[in-house]
Each structure stands twice: as structure tokens, then as C-alpha cells.
Amino acid sequence: MAIQVADLLDEGPVDYVEAWERQKELVARRGRGEVPDTLLLLEHAPTVTYGRAADRANLLLAPEEYARRGIALVPTDRGGDVTYHGPGQLVGYPILALAEGDRDLHRYVRRLEAALIGAAEDLGVVGAGRAHWHAGVWVGDAYLAALGVRVARWVTHHGFALNVSDEVMTGFETIVPCGVPGRPVTSLSRVLGRAVTVREAAEAVGRRFAQSF
């Protein structure tokens, strides 16, 4: 069965916890076979999240300062360290039931990376790829897309965050992105030297996911 792309971009920035609740409902329904594999695509309101094994030292501000800046601070049950979400970034949550022959989390992450690399190339990015020091998508030593996933009874959730416009960049100044110090963060717009919209990125990502999954 083909993957269903659920485009929520017209809703505007979605609260992180609200989106998390949607994921939980879809994970339960996918596990019961009530819905097909689904990719949620959306933008978040400004939010810093950190995974179960995150180093809290990678949060560079006090909780009160995050609140003052209008940035929600949310612990999650995903893998990975600290990351930022906000307008100008395409967030994707694949809710996929991994078949018996595909139940390899490392392989799943590689497939996510491949789909995002392909989407970036379709938009004109040259040199997008993997890095030996961390999962995700990189252009040179600059971080273009972060990954943080979880699998429950072999149904995937959480996912990826692809930086599209420079609107999202200031939020990364408040953290050590994904716990990898000394590596810059970049965006599609910055790499391409032109304004790329989240809608444009979503269309490219949706096409690549339909091919890959």
C-alpha cells in the first residue's frame, strides 16, 4: 500500500504537543491496521525538544529565558539529543508499519536520510549527504536536516526536521544542535542562494517518500 501524505501546512505552525498527540493516535491506529502508512508534514511553533538521552547542557538558556522568548521547551520520548523547531522548517513524522524484513532501525534511518537527500537534490542542492559524525543530512559540515525517531511495536513515529528558510535559524542559537558542537546549521535557502518555501520543500519531500516507502 502506498504511503499517504497528510499535509498540515495550511494549519499554520502546529503546537508540538498537539502534533505529538496526533502521532500517538495514528501509531495506535496503524498498529491495528485501520490506516495506511502516513507521512505528516507540518511546521511547528517555536519549540526546543530534547530526547530521552539528551545532555541538558546542550540547552544554552534557562527555562525562564526560553519562555520569555516564546520558545516552548518539551522533553520527548524520541531518540536523539536537543533540537529546535519553528516556522521556516519542514517537519515530517512518518507513521510506518515496518514489515518483517525491514525491522532494522539503522536501515530505516538510512532510508529517511536517502529520501531527504534526494529531495534536496531535486531542489538543486549539490553535495547533500550523510556525515560520519552524526545522523541526518549535511552539506559539507553544515547541518541541513535533523533526525530523531522512535519505533513502538515496529510502527515508526517522530521523524525529521528540514531547515528551509533562514527564518528558522535564530532558534538554533539557543541550543547545541543535536549535541554536536562546532558544526554550523544551514537551510535550503542559504545553500541555494534563493528563497525556498516550506511548501516547495514539502512537495519535493512528499515525492521522494512516495518513491522510497
Residues known to be catalytic:
178
124 is in an annotated binding site: no
Alpha carbon distances (Å) from 134 to 103, 178, 197: 21, 9, 26
182 in a labelled binding site: no
- Burial (0-12, 13-18, 19+ Cβ within 10 Å), 63: exposed
Task: Output DSSP code: residue 212.
Answer: H
Asked if residue 85 belongs to a known ligand binding site, the reply is yes
Question: What is the C-alpha end-to-end distance of the chain, expressed in Å?
Answer: 9
CB contact at 8 A, 156 and 108: yes
Q: Known binder of ligand: residue 79?
A: yes
Consult the annotation and say whether 38 binds a ligand.
no
Residue 57 labeled ligand binder: no
67 is in an annotated binding site: no
148 is in an annotated binding site: yes
CA distances from 58 to 91, 132, 152, 177 (A): 21, 21, 27, 8
> Would you say 157 is a known binding-site residue?
no
Annotated binding site for substrate: 78-85, 146-148, 159-161
Annotated binding site: 78-85, 146-148, 159-161
